[in-house]
Structure 1
Amino acid sequence: MEIELVADIASYDRMASPPITELSDRARDIFRLVVEDYLGRGQPVGSKALSQQSGLNLSPASIRSVLSELEQLGLLAAPHTSAGRLPTESGLRLFVDGIMQVAEPTREERVAIEQQLSAPGPIEKALEKTSSILSDISGAAGMVMVPRREPRLAQMRLVPLDETRALAVLVGEDGHVENRVLEIADATSHSALQRAGNYISAQLSGRTLAEAAQTMRADIASGQSALDEISAGLVEAGIATWSEDPARRPVLIVRGQANLLDETALGDIERVRSLLEDLEDKQSVAELLDSARDAESTRIFIGAENRLFALSGSSVIASPYRDREGKVVGVLGVIGPTRLNYARVVPMVDFTAQSLGKRIGWQGKNDA
């Protein structure tokens, strides 16, 4: 399974770790055991526990020597002088990049996810359900960005207000109406306004804003449009008024924040508080998820690799989901402590994104 692993470049350079190939077999084995134990229990692991449980056939003293070496390389850290070791964020990155073997969802898990998402109902319900599914499978918080819907034109009218302004009344196929004021030249006649509105309603209806603009320019450039220069300018200005309000924030559905308050969080309550505050700033979280739009598959952000979570030390696993035409329409993912079970959660997030894409495609087909 393909996984795209991404780090904030400045932070990644600062936390650069040696390639996995530079570690000896013994060091790699011990490093893997420490990380897997930490991801499973969330606690540091000591040399005595490793010697008793791992089957390494090494004495605690030999294991301590290797742990010390891994600590010097910046892959492990000791929270206290007498405590065991746990992986650093740099160590987790090395583990995810070079050692982790993902556990593909079982047939039962795949069927369960698809059944939940295929239930009849509005797409908004499926998006909320997806967020809950992600929370359940990860034991963390699930997040889904609502698809951006680009309206399709139905008709437009241009109504003169005074000598230099006109009101553009734009109607979408879904019945959505927007009124925008646009500037016009002093010499613009009422007939030019009417021609522009009629052209859009007759020639560009059923198209998105981008499609309408492309068609209009092609028609004018090829001489197929009977519009004069003034009317053509009004058409372009009218289409341009149908632009999304830049202050409009993307809709982000978050479920399962309570999962972040588990027993291991009690000893690090400041980190959890910082994470919950980060989640309250949905605009910033949405921007982080949005950066995964261009990924072919799942992306993983670990701790301070992303500045947004530098204080909370959290990880994000994100995957884009697509419509029936293969176009990315949104991003989903999970957010939680850096000790997420990456090997299990990564493929589950990827499969959930695929399943949601099928659901959206099915919905679109029925709406067509």
Structure 2
Amino acid sequence: MSDNGDRFPWSTASATGVGSHPGEDHLEALRVVFGELPDLPYLPELPERGVGADMVGRTASLLVDMPVEVQPSGWRITQAPGRDLGRAYDHLSRDLDGLEEIAHNYTGPLKVQVCGPWTLAATIELRYGDKMLKDPGAVRDLAESLAEGVTAHLAQVRRRVPGATTIVLQLDEPGLPGVLAGTVPTASGFGRLPAVEAPIVTERLRTVLRGVAADGVYPIVHCCAPNVPITLIRDAGARGVSLDAALLRRQDEDPIGEAIEAGTAFFLGVVPGTDARLPDIGVVAKPALELWRRLGFPPSTLADQVVLTPTCGLAGASPRYAKAALAKCREAAKVLRDDPGED
């Protein structure tokens, strides 16, 4: 249960992960997540299992009346569900079975990740040509389909884990800055698709976030790329932003300060997502401590409003490192609570 009032559904001094894990053993990944992150565990993704276990294919399996298949160039809209989509269904079904087994006695918030509409649109190709991003009507249909499919997915997660007091829904949008900047390559790779205007980007994100809105759902948007559009994400209805603390620039601090003042949660990536020497917990906690100090917010709010994470997914890490990285985030989160005035 949360011990920080009604503002945030997780306990003070919580940590979590971004989503992906190394290896192919989903039960072991779940054991690691629930063991190392007892206050805010999540449903891990294991892309090493192959087609349909990747971020895009996994989420595409949730789309309603919008089947996809794998072509040499990647995922593409198709006429009817086929073998590739079947694999994605199977992976997700096994993951949910495992979640039900490992979390059968769990009570508390649970995080679930899906790919966001703009990263999907910048990745999946239309049936006869370029990426969905090129067709505004296709993107609109994609956002509506995603909202319907994710709603059904969250309902199934709740049935599997009845003790989940809140589902923290994370939309993964690493492609969002590129969509806004006009740097997404065409399917051929020889050109770039035009930038999408910010109001349209906001509206499609809002379609998904409003579509899944319900009691007990806390939506956040994750983007591990530079130039995270924090204000746009908030305007779309997200209640939290997940980003890599190492990529923050001084010009990002005004929108961050406005978001903190408005009660937006921040999931700050503070340890590498691939094998590296993990520093002491004080060093890991330092980016959050210094950010809060520079912006002039009271230390007493830091451990409630900030959740520590790795900088991105852990699929490229070794299993041993992935476990250690999550443990380090959990230990560093306590620094935010116990001694927020110290480095």
Band of TM-score, shorter chain: under 0.3
TM-score (norm 1): 0.23
Larger-Rg structure: 1
TM-score relative to the length of structure 2: 0.25
Greater fraction helix: 1
